[in-house]
Amino acid sequence: MKCRIFGWKLIGLSVLFFLFVPFLLNFVLGWHSPNNIKVIGTATDWLLFHGSYIGGVLTAVVGFIAMGIESRRNGYALRLKNQQAYIKSLEAELSNLIGAMQFYEIGDISLYVSDKKNFKFHSVVAIGRLNDKLGIVMNQANTFMLGYRGRSEEYINKFVVLYENCVKAYQESVNEMTRLLFGVREFMSDAEWDNFCQKITGINEKAAKGQEYLKSVYEAADNWLVAERKKEADLQNKLKRLGFDFD
């Protein structure tokens, strides 16, 4: 708003200056004394002067307007280029964040319950794999939160909240499965083994619900990208109005 007021003031002062220059010129050239200021030149002279003067001013005004349009066009073009690069980067980042949390992998150990004899070995491998993936998820989450927590945009805040809840659910499921697998012994009675398998089933069911978290996070990510693409479209429309050729 302040910029618009300043712009109108500048235009007003320019018009006044444009109208005042001929009088100032005549005053300087026709000055003899405070009480003796003559009109310099004939009507024809002043007509020629005003023709050249107005033509020069109009040329300057047209040039100034063209320069302003070109400046705005370049500014919007740069913003559009940055927005397109940001969308591309954001798509990759959101894909990596969501793709890193595969809840169904938490229950992969269930594939080896039939191999009771070697289950301890499979448990050790599973613990290492799960914690490696959890480390990746947590590192990604911490880095992401530093950049986006507390943003003013509602669609970003919604994604942040859902993503953070999803990460917590993933972390809880992995830690729960890890604690259970650490308790595996080489020799377990049938009753102990049955109880152990039931606990694995319970964790798997809980982890399966985590896929619902992922679905919500995915929808929030899609809404975020839609909002950013709308900004891209707005910039394209502004450039089209300024005569920018996208071909």
Phi, psi of 37 (to 5 degrees): -120, 115
- What confidence score (pLDDT) does residue 45 get? 61
- What confidence score (pLDDT) does residue 213 get? 84
List per-residue pLDDT tens for the chain, 247 residues long. 544 555 556 566 666 666 666 655 555 555 444 554 555 556 566 556 666 766 766 776 777 777 777 788 888 889 999 999 999 999 999 999 999 998 888 888 887 777 778 888 888 888 899 999 999 999 999 999 998 988 889 999 999 999 999 999 999 989 988 888 888 877 778 888 888 888 888 888 877 787 888 899 999 999 999 999 999 999 999 888 887 665 5
Q: Using DSSP bridges, classify how beta strands 36-37 and 31-33 pair: parallel, antiparallel or unpaired.
A: antiparallel
- What confidence score (pLDDT) does residue 43 get? 56
- What confidence score (pLDDT) does residue 31 get? 47
- 216-244 confidence digits (pLDDT tens): 999 999 999 999 999 999 999 988 888 76
- What confidence score (pLDDT) does residue 30 get? 52
- Residue 29 CA to residue 220 CA, distance in Å, equals 73
- What confidence score (pLDDT) does residue 195 get? 87
- 165-208 confidence digits (pLDDT tens): 999 999 998 998 888 888 887 777 888 888 888 888 888 887 77
- Residue 68 CA to residue 9 CA, distance in Å, equals 17
- What confidence score (pLDDT) does residue 110 get? 81
CB count in 10 Å sphere of residue 207:
22
Closest listed residue to residue 164, CA positions, set 141, 188, 136, 140: 141
Instruction: Using a cut of 0.75, tell me whether the model's pTM lies above it.
Output: no
- Residue 94 CA to residue 86 CA, distance in Å, equals 12
- What confidence score (pLDDT) does residue 33 get? 45
